[in-house]
Amino acid sequence: MAVWGERLAGVRGVLLDISGVLFDGCTGGGVPIPGSVEAVARLKQSHLKVRFCTNESQKSRGKLVGLLQRLGFDISEGEVTSPAPAACQILKEQGLRPHLLVHDEILSEFDKIDTSNPNCVLIADAGDAFSYKNMNKAFQLLMELENPVLISLGKGRYYKETSGLMLDVGAYMKALEYACGIEAKVVGKPSPEFFKNALQVLGVEAHQAIMIGDDIVGDVGGAQRCGMRALQVRTGKFRPSDEHHPEVKADGYVDNLAEAVDLLLQHVDK
Amino acid sequence: MAVWGERLAGVRGVLLDISGVLFDGCTGGGVPIPGSVEAVARLKQSHLKVRFCTNESQKSRGKLVGLLQRLGFDISEGEVTSPAPAACQILKEQGLRPHLLVHDEILSEFDKIDTSNPNCVLIADAGDAFSYKNMNKAFQLLMELENPVLISLGKGRYYKETSGLMLDVGAYMKALEYACGIEAKVVGKPSPEFFKNALQVLGVEAHQAIMIGDDIVGDVGGAQRCGMRALQVRTGKFRPSDEHHPEVKADGYVDNLAEAVDLLLQHVDK
C-alpha cells in the first residue's frame, strides 16, 4: 500500500512503549503480547535505531528490564528511557528534596536523593500505596509548603494488566492538583522534554522518528506534539473509541507491534 | 456600622454550614467551635428562620445530629439538608442502582436503595475506604458502563479535623473523572438544586437568605450563584488567602459564627 510508504518515509529511529506494546503486566510478572518478542528482535537486526520509552514507574528500570529479559526480549537497561532517572536529575538540579509516594519496587531509584525535610512531593504509580492515609500525608505536606511543588512520573489515566484496567498515577495527580489548587510538573510521556531526551540519546531528529504505543494521548499525541510520527497498536489499553479520539489522530493504527514492524521493514527506505 | 446594615438588609432566613462552623470533627467525635452552641441557640430564638445545610457524607444525618446534640447544639434531624437523602431521591427517580464507595457510617442512608447489578457509581467522603483497591473497583465499573454515571456527594477539596486538613471527596471525584473521561453529577453544595431545596424547605426566597460557611467556593460561591448572600467564617478550613480568592468574594468575613449572629441580630430589620 502506497499510503504506508508515504507515512513511513524517512523514518530512521523508532521509540517503543513497553507496557501494552511489548507485554501485559500482572502481579509479579507479565505475559508477552503475541509476536512482540520476535518483532523487537527483527527491529533491532534492521538498520533502524531503536529505543524504549516508558512511563513505567511501579518498578525500577533494572527490575523492568530483568522481567522483560526473562520474557524473552532483547533489551538492556541502557536502551530504556524511564521517568525515575529523569526525575532524579531534575530533583538534583533544582535542590528539591521529595516526599516520595511511590511503589516500594521503585524506591531504589531514589537511593542517592536527599529526602530529609521535604520541600516537594513526588508521586508515581504507587498501586496499593495510594491509600487514603498516604494521599492525605502528601496533601498535608503540599498545603504546608509556601510554593507547593508536585512532581508526577507520567500522567496516565489507566493501564492494562492481564486482570483488567488499572488506575494510573494521573488520576492521583489530578486529585492532589484539585485539592491543593496547583498544577503538577509531569516527568515522563507526554512531556516534550522526556521525548526529546529519548531522541537525543537515540541520535535522530524528531521528524526522522516514530513512536509506537498503546496510549492515544500519552504516546501518540505526545510524540506528535514533538514533531514525531506515531502509530497506535490495538493491544494493551487500546480501546476502539481511540480511533475516533476528538483531539488526537495517529499516523496509523496497527493490530500489534508485529504488524508495525512488518510495515516499517517493508516500507522504510533501506 | 452602616455597611453591615446594608449588607444584611432584608435577610429572613439563614443557612448554616455545620463542619468548620458549628464544630471541628475528629475521629469518633468533635469539639464545638467556641461560641457556636450559644450562637445557634440565639439565632433560633430570633425571628430569623434557620436551616442547616451540610455536605457531610461520612456520617448519616441521624448520627451527625446525635453527635451535635451531645456537643450541646439545639438541632434536630428535620432541620438538616444533607446530600445522601437528596441522592437517594435522584437514584430512585432515575432508576439508578449505585455501586457505593462510601464510609460504613453512611451505608444506612441507602438501606432502601437497590444496589444489585450496579449501573452507576456513587462516592462520598469515604475516608480510609478510599483505598486503591476500592477506587480501582469503582473505576473498572464505570469503564464497563456504556453511559458511565458518577454521582459525588459534594466536591469539597478538603475539610478540617482537629488533627489537620483532610482530603475530601472532591479530590477522588476528580481522579475518577480524569481516569474515565467523564464529568460527575454533584449532589450537595455547590449544586444549585441543593441550595434551592434547602431554601424551599426553609420557605424563603434566595434574595432573603444568607449562607454562613467556612468554604469560600462550596458555601460562599455556591450560595451567591443561587442569588443568596454569603458570609465566610474564619474557622474550620478557612485560610487567609480565601479573602483574596480570584473568583469568589464573600458579602462579609467574620471571625466565627458568634460574630455572624451578633451582626445578624443587630442589623437585620426586626
Q: Residue A26: pLDDT band by 50, 70, 90 thresholds? A: confident
The minimal CB distance from A165 to the residues B126, B143, B176 is found for: B143
Question: Would the CB atoms of B174 and A178 count as touching at under 8 Å?
Answer: yes
Helix (H) or strand (E) holding A2: helix A2-7
The conformation of residue B101, written as its DSSP 8-state character, comes to E
CB of A154 within 8 A of CB of A167? no
B172 inside 8 A of chain A by CB = yes
- Selecting from B133, B157, B181 the residue whose C-beta is nearest the C-beta of A179 gives B157
Common-topology check for domains B2-82+189-267 and B83-187: yes
Across the range A103-128, mean pLDDT stands at 97
Would you kindly state where each structural domain of chain B is located, as residue ranges?
2-82+189-267, 83-187
Mutate to test the interface with B, among A132, A141, A216 (most CBs of B within 10 A): A132
ipTM, 2 dp: 0.91
- B71: helix, coil or strand? coil
Q: Tell me how far apart the alpha carbons of residues B157 and B144 are, in angstroms, rounded to a whole number.
A: 27
Q: Is the pLDDT of residue A28 over 60?
A: yes
pLDDT at site B167: 97
Intervals of chain B under pLDDT 70 = 1-2, 269-270
The pLDDT value given to residue B27: 79
Residues on chain A touching B180 (C-beta within 8 angstroms): 157
User: Is the CB of B175 less than 8 angstroms away from the CB of A179?
Assistant: no
Return the CATH architecture of domain A2-81+189-267: 3-Layer(aba) Sandwich (3.40)
Chain B positions touching A180 (Cβ under 8 A) are 157
pLDDT tens profile A53-96: 999 999 999 999 999 999 999 999 999 999 999 999 999 999 99
Which residue of A129, A139, A168 is in closest CB contact with B158?
A139
CATH code reported for the domain at A83-187:
3.40.50.1000
The CATH homologous superfamily for domain B2-82+189-267 is: HAD superfamily/HAD-like (3.40.50.1000)
Contact call for residues A50 and A78 (beta carbons, < 8 A): no
d(CA B102, CA B128): 10
pLDDT tens digits for range A181-240 = 999 999 999 999 999 999 999 999 999 999 999 999 999 999 999 999 999 999 999 999
- Degrees to nearest 5, angle at CA A165 with A164 and A168: 145
**In A, which residues are within 8 Å of B175 by CB distance?**
167, 171-172, 174-175
